[in-house]
Structure 1
């Protein structure tokens, strides 16, 4: 059971033009094709208890792409090219990320999801990459994905998931922001030739991978398959723990019965 966070956008269908939860089909189709069951998680009011209750029903979590994260979350004023803030989604995903890490729930971040993970861990972003690299090659505009080559660290989990050779890996990107200062507990596992961070991993958890590119746009199921595999192991371990707790509880109850006059 894989949860995917969604956009909250003004959407049109038939005679209706209303705010709606929205997520491109490619995201949850990739989860399903990789063997998972997709559950959509639209932005909503949240606290630790609500996030925990949501995650109780999940075996894995995808933090998806979308609008820029509010720079106030990492202590910066907004760049003129930064999107209007979406505080509801920022707060929702931030709480889900923290609670997922606490319980070592398998986690995959995609584009904004990688940035959100970094910010949740105390990192910062470059708000407009053209100011840093001198070109707009990471976001062509018009909904057209650019293809860039990334270099994946050979000892990383990402390298194993992608079965990457020691050659650049072409990936589809559509982002004008990127990770600057890396958050606590994160390791950079992929960059482009000009140093832009393209992937990070959480250390100390069984599966915590986030990429700046869009595997769902490349019909590339390898990261989704890795997440579903990790989620399957997570679920099996959780069920085993519950069985042990149940057996222990029964034994304790039987013991009490034997001691009763």
Structure 2
């Protein structure tokens, strides 16, 4: 059986030097596609496009991963910008929010990672805490801390134990979006995973970076759900 094709969002760096070239480049850390591959999927990178093209693009893949990155512009959840919030990533915001909406509309399995989890929450009408003083990671470095699953959630079924996860963020989910539930917390109560509880829809967000610790359990579940969307039982 062919591997399901998992789309991973990318972002544009205005100046990237490689060889003799110094050009705008669409990229994503290799850990993302390596995690998809290790979990049994095939990966394809999705560069920014017109938001109206989101449904067309997703019609070619079986699952979606929304990658980590800069802060979501607070304009998308009706908040005044905190001076500690990063500069807007306007093109990326519009593209990824459109992808999330199209994935939700179509029932496509969706995993949001770090910024991707926050964008999922915003797409469903939720809000974000723009800065958490006690939860700020060391600049330029990934830190590790434990997260505890919420019993009865999809995440807890995949990772039932308290787990040390690699994380790098200064923002967090505040008010949950429509239909979402928290499925893991940090020891200080910060929401570390969210999901739609509908068992017929695979929609999960994690605040940490599973592509940094190589734990394939969550990604393997996404791949399995993506396979189930198109796999035809053999009679």
| Range into which the TM-score falls when normalised by the shorter chain | over 0.9
Q: Which residue of 1 aligns with 2:139?
A: 141
Displacement of 1:192 in angstroms is 1.1
Q: Which residue of 1 aligns with 2:28?
A: 23
Structure 2 runs not aligned, ≥5 long: none
Q: Which residue of 2 aligns with 1:210?
A: 205
Q: Provide, for residues 173-205 of structure 1, a one-character-per-residue CA deviation record: whole Å limited to 9, x for no partner.
A: 100000001100101111112111000001334
Of 92, 95, 115, the residue aligned with 2:95 is 92
Structure 1 runs not aligned, ≥5 long: 241-261
Displacement of 1:38 in angstroms is 0.5
Q: Which residue of 2 aligns with 1:3?
A: 7
Matches within 5 A, 1:100-249: 100-130=103-133, 135=134, 137-142=135-140, 144-162=141-159, 164-165=160-161, 168-204=162-198, 205-236=200-231
Displacement of 1:52 in angstroms is 1.2
Cα distance in 2, alignment partners of residues 191 and 87 from structure 1:
29
Matches within 5 A, 1:49-68: 50-68=53-71
Of 49, 66, 78, the residue aligned with 1:44 is 49
Cα distance in 2, alignment partners of residues 12 and 124 from structure 1:
36
Compare the two structures and name the one with the higher helix fraction: 1
Give the CA RMSD over aligned residues: 1.3
Task: Count how many residue pairs are aligned between Structure 1 and Structure 2.
Answer: 227
Instruction: Select the structure of larger CA radius of gyration.
Output: 1
Check the 8 A contact 1:59/1:105 in 2, yes or no: yes
Runs of 4+ residues deviating >3 angstroms: none
Q: Secondary structure at the match of 2:51?
A: coil
Q: Which residue of 2 aligns with 1:13?
A: 18
TM (norm. structure 2) is 0.93
